[in-house]
Amino acid sequence: MKREILINGSQRETRVAILEDDRLVELLIDRPDHRRIVGDIYLGRVEAVLPGIQAAFVDIGLEKSAFLHASDLLEPEEDEEPGSEEGDEAFEAAEVEAEAEGGEEAERRGRRGRRNGESNGGAEPRQREVRSRRQLPDISDLLKKGQTLLVQVTKEPISTKGCRVTAQISLPGRFLVYMPYASKVGVSRKIESKELRARLREMVSNLLAQDAGGMIVRTVAEGVTEDSFKREVESLLNIWRKINKKKTFVRAPALVQRETSLTRGIIRDLFSAKVDALHVDSKELFNEIEAYLKGVDPELMERVNLYAETVPLFDKFDIENEIRDLFKARCDLPTGGYIIIQPTEALVSIDVNTGRYTGKRDPEKTILKTNLESAREIARQIRLRDIGGIIVCDFIDMETRANRERVLQELRTHLGRDRARTKAFAVSELGLIEMTRQRVRPSLWHSMTSECPDCKGTGRVFTPEVVARRLERSLKRAGRERRERQMAIRLHPEVALYLLEEEPKLIHTLGKLTGLELELRDDPMMRVDEFRLMSRPAGRDVTDIYAVA
């Protein structure tokens, strides 16, 4: 598979696009006013301990307190990547704004979330299985209100909730992840060779002093020499010493260690021999990449290209249009079918339709082809849009079990390319595939768009006919109260045109009925579903006095 990374840098924004076989599969955006905080380390102060949901709220100096689950106080299992999914259910159930004074409410929400989870089609049994393997101690025995501790952000604030943090600090390097509170050396599960795993584990273990903490060997470390490991171990240990030193001089809550920049993080975590090329259009970022690679992997510099053409980088690779289409509900498929992606507060629903693709003779083959194509596109879209949480996919009903399994396997295969943890459950009796995807930060839909001031997030506005009826009721109220004699009605031109063409006698009839002198004025600055009533002598707005539903 052909893989490329594009980095578009400017003073106010850095964008990173990841391409697989010339198709955009991942988009990362970083702005100075909206800095990413995942990976940042804080000295926090415990504000509330909630045994009912095995969690605590920790003040780290942000607008809302952070959420710390009891599972994030334990040492991770061997070979487990930092940032466990355990406790996500409690995190979703507890609203962070409850904080210290709202502890009882948070506990109530947590209990309700657990009760609801017991019938969620597969996710809750997995959670119970995890807990049975790792019995959690009572969090009130481990933490007390007012206590200070180092925590690291694992999930950014989303919607009304604050960020999620862990007390299991991890410091990622190019080849290793240092975990100072762990005690073992693990190897990424993506390295499958038993012999290689054993050799890498022994090599890194020999470089660590007793009680110096634990390490995880990253996938990119295949073929790395002992000298490279030694340099990185020393570098990570030095960072940890600085953190320990700094925490003794600051007062909680305080930022102790900031995660590296988006560009440096991408190079550290993604750029390897498996990436065919990296194109960057900023000389400053190019120099940053060059300086970093010279220290860790100089051979990769031949794959880095400083883009200097007059055509913008993202236009050159024809991905600006794809970025503009990111927020459309409808996503067309090559053969004529399409999927509809609808985010809601609780989950994201994805509906599959055959559209204009009708196949030839066999309906089941037509449906199977559309579903297989949709499975590939769904995996790409949720990764591209960075959709997390619960996702429900409504595929077209298939008659045979073999076809249902084939679609599920196709979806799982393409989800396997995703860096975020995903889990797709079996096709339900209703033909739905329920899945979950690790949510680290708000989706691009949440972070790059805001609620429409006209429709308030519904995506719909009242029709001109409905506006006319609301206006009629408001004018009748004004006539009954007899406070006004002369009124001007301001409407959007579309509604004014509707009244003139479809109900030309309405204003005259209402004037006679109410005893008001009415004047109609079109105002292009008005919303389509809005009207304003103005008292003509005084020139004041009296809409709120007479407005009715």
- List, for residues 58-80, the tens digit of each pLDDT value: 999 998 999 999 989 876 554 54
Has residue 122 got a pLDDT over 70? no
Outline where DSSP puts E strands in 191-343. Answer: 214-217, 254-257, 277-280, 304-306, 330-332, 338-343
- Mean confidence (pLDDT) of the chain: 84
Q: How does pLDDT run across 442-451, given as a tens digit for each residue? A: 888 888 888 8
Q: Please name the residue that has the structure tokens 């909630």.
A: 50
- Calculate mean pLDDT across residues 30-46: 87
pLDDT attached to residue 134 = 57
Measured between alpha carbons, how far is 69 from 385 in angstroms, rounded to an integer? 27
**β partners of residue 432:** 394
Has residue 86 got a pLDDT over 70? no
Looking at the whole model, is its pTM more than 0.85? Answer: no
Helix (H), strand (E) at residue 391 = strand 389-394
pLDDT attached to residue 357 = 60
The pLDDT confidence band at residue 102, using thresholds 50, 70 and 90, is very low
**Percentage of the chain modeled with pLDDT above 90:** 42
In the chain, what are the helix, strand and coil shares in percent, each to the nearest 5? Answer: 40, 25, 40
Nearest to 145 by CA among 51, 271, 8: 51
- Calculate mean pLDDT across residues 399-421: 91
* 223 vs 68, higher pLDDT: 68
CA distances from 323 to 155, 307, 351, 441, 448 (A): 24, 20, 21, 18, 11
pLDDT attached to residue 289 = 92
Q: For the chain, what's the residue count? A: 549
Residue/partner pairs of 448-457 with CB below 8 Å, 24 or more apart: 448/29, 448/326, 448/327, 449/327, 454/527, 454/528, 454/529
Has residue 98 got a pLDDT over 70? no
* 78 vs 224, higher pLDDT: 224
pLDDT attached to residue 483 = 82
Instruction: Give every CB contact of residue 250 below 8 A, 6+ residues apart in sequence.
Output: 43, 256
- Calculate mean pLDDT across residues 469-479: 90
Has residue 93 got a pLDDT over 60? no
- Calculate mean pLDDT across residues 491-500: 93
Q: Please name the residue that has the structure tokens 């509604």.
A: 495
Lowest mean pLDDT among 162-176, 276-290, 406-420, 437-451: 437-451
- Calculate mean pLDDT across residues 102-116: 38
Measured between alpha carbons, how far is 18 from 4 in angstroms, rounded to an integer? 6
pLDDT attached to residue 334 = 87
Q: How does pLDDT run across 348-379, given as a tens digit for each residue? A: 999 998 877 665 667 788 888 899 999 999 99
pLDDT attached to residue 465 = 93
The pLDDT confidence band at residue 257, using thresholds 50, 70 and 90, is very high
Has residue 475 got a pLDDT over 80? yes
The pLDDT confidence band at residue 430, using thresholds 50, 70 and 90, is confident
- Calculate mean pLDDT across residues 248-261: 90
- Calculate mean pLDDT across residues 145-169: 90
pLDDT attached to residue 245 = 92
Has residue 85 got a pLDDT over 60? no
pLDDT attached to residue 113 = 40
The pLDDT confidence band at residue 345, using thresholds 50, 70 and 90, is confident
48 in Cβ contact with 103 (< 8 Å): yes
* Sign of the alpha-carbon torsion through 439, 444, 448, 454: negative
Has residue 520 got a pLDDT over 70? yes
pLDDT attached to residue 133 = 44
Measured between alpha carbons, how far is 110 from 50 in angstroms, rounded to an integer? 10
